[in-house]
Amino acid sequence: MSGGFGFDYPWVLSSFVLFIPLILFDLFSSRRKLIKQHLPRSLGLRLLASRVFFRIFLGCFIIALASPRWGLEQSGGEYRRGLDVVIAIDVSRSMEIRDVPGGRGTDSGTEHGETSRLERGLSIVREAVSAVPGPRFAAAVSRNRGLLAVPLTWDNSAVLSFLDAAGSSMSGSGTNLESLVDAAATAFQSSFPFKRLIILVSDGEALSGSLKAALERCNYEGIMVSALAVGSDEGSPVPGQEDSISRRDQALMRLAAEQTGGIYIDGNLANAAAALSSHLRSLGNESESSGGRRERKARWPLFIMAAIICYGASKLSLFKRKDNEE
């Protein structure tokens, strides 16, 4: 866009036609000429100055109403909508299975370098929360029933402290991803029109509830769900239930992301934490800026200030100074 001079409401400038009768009156009014002949010279000059300042006041006021613009500025960058993120953690018994290859950012597991699904998922989200301090974070957990454990807060250390403790004593039998997502959704507040994201940390194996039903509700409420899937696709025995094999359900986790506009992250990959951090940053940048286009800067405040000054000058010019009287 050009940085030249322009107006938002150019039709307002048609008001300058009001100056035509004023100028004609000043130039050709016989009555004004007669009054001017009988006025003291000092008073006539003060009246002339008052009249000129008042005309400038009217001109500046009309230009200000037309909203002049010139010079380029960045628009949209100051807009900040904000980002709320709820980390929804599946802490069911299957998440204790140690079948995730150990890697950077993960706790060391067995002698084969494997770590549990829960430890791996928590490690990834801890790294992402630490790397992206902008959003508000919350945490929800679920075994048989979802629970909002940490409400939305700007204090990332509170969420990190919970994540540090989440893997040690919260696991239990049963998986209800519908209840987990519903519990996470309760963290969002309608009074805060922020972008809303749920990070679902799970192997995708649900024993009860309907995750699809919860996703439909998220879609209706404008909540995005991104899925962090951990665990092996081949499957491993559940601790304490050696006859029960648990496998990662990638299809269900991908569905959760695709149905709500989120992304799917393979938690077994070494760059999973970096992918999640980039995802959060991209959403944060979208929330902070509506596009960042350049447009001409509004200059009407300058003319308002000039109009006020000229109006005051038109009044002050009528007063006679005492030293002149002497």
pLDDT in tens, 312-325: 888 887 776 544 44
Pairing of strands 114-115, 100-101: antiparallel
The per-residue pLDDT for 108 is 38
Tell me, yes or no, whether 238 and 106 share the same domain.
yes
Tokens of 295: 């447009």
Write down the pTM of the prediction. 0.61
Tell me, yes or no, whether 238 and 105 share the same domain.
yes
Per-residue pLDDT averaged across 283-296, rounded?
Answer: 61
Give the pLDDT band of residue 238 (cuts 50, 70, 90): confident
The per-residue pLDDT for 9 is 84
Tell me, yes or no, whether 128 and 224 share the same domain.
yes
Tell me, yes or no, whether 318 and 231 share the same domain.
no
The per-residue pLDDT for 324 is 47
Tell me, yes or no, whether 64 and 143 share the same domain.
no
Tell me, yes or no, whether 245 and 98 share the same domain.
yes
| In the predicted structure, residue 283 carries a pLDDT above the cut 90 | no
Domain membership of residue 194 (yes or no) is yes
Question: Using only C-alpha atoms, what is the Rg of the chain?
Answer: 35
Tell me, yes or no, whether 281 and 184 share the same domain.
yes
CATH number at residue 96: 3.40.50.410
Lowest mean pLDDT among 16-20, 116-120, 125-129: 16-20
The rounded percent of the chain whose pLDDT value lies above 90 is 24
Residue 231, C-beta contacts closer than 8 angstroms, at least 6 positions apart: 94, 95, 97, 99, 100, 117, 203, 204, 205, 246, 247, 248, 267, 268
Task: Indicate the average pLDDT of the chain.
Answer: 80
Domain membership of residue 270 (yes or no) is yes
Domain membership of residue 294 (yes or no) is no
| In the predicted structure, residue 104 carries a pLDDT above the cut 50 | no
Domain membership of residue 152 (yes or no) is yes
- Report how many domains make up the chain: 2
Domain membership of residue 103 (yes or no) is yes
Q: Tell me the residue range of the domain where 195 lies.
A: 83-288
Q: Token match 């300042």: residue?
A: 53
Domain membership of residue 4 (yes or no) is no
Tell me, yes or no, whether 209 and 119 share the same domain.
yes
Domain membership of residue 11 (yes or no) is no
Lowest mean pLDDT among 28-32, 142-146, 201-205: 28-32
Domain membership of residue 268 (yes or no) is yes
Tell me, yes or no, whether 55 and 98 share the same domain.
no
pLDDT digits (tens, 9 = 90+) for 150-198: 888 888 888 888 888 776 555 556 678 889 999 999 999 876 678 899 9
Q: Which amino acid appears at position 85 of this protein? A: V
Tell me, yes or no, whether 43 and 171 share the same domain.
no
User: In angstroms, what CA-CA distances link 58 with 62, 79, 119, 312?
Assistant: 6, 35, 72, 12
Tell me, yes or no, whether 198 and 144 share the same domain.
yes
pLDDT digits (tens, 9 = 90+) for 41-67: 777 788 888 888 888 988 888 988 888
Tell me, yes or no, whether 55 and 104 share the same domain.
no
The per-residue pLDDT for 79 is 46
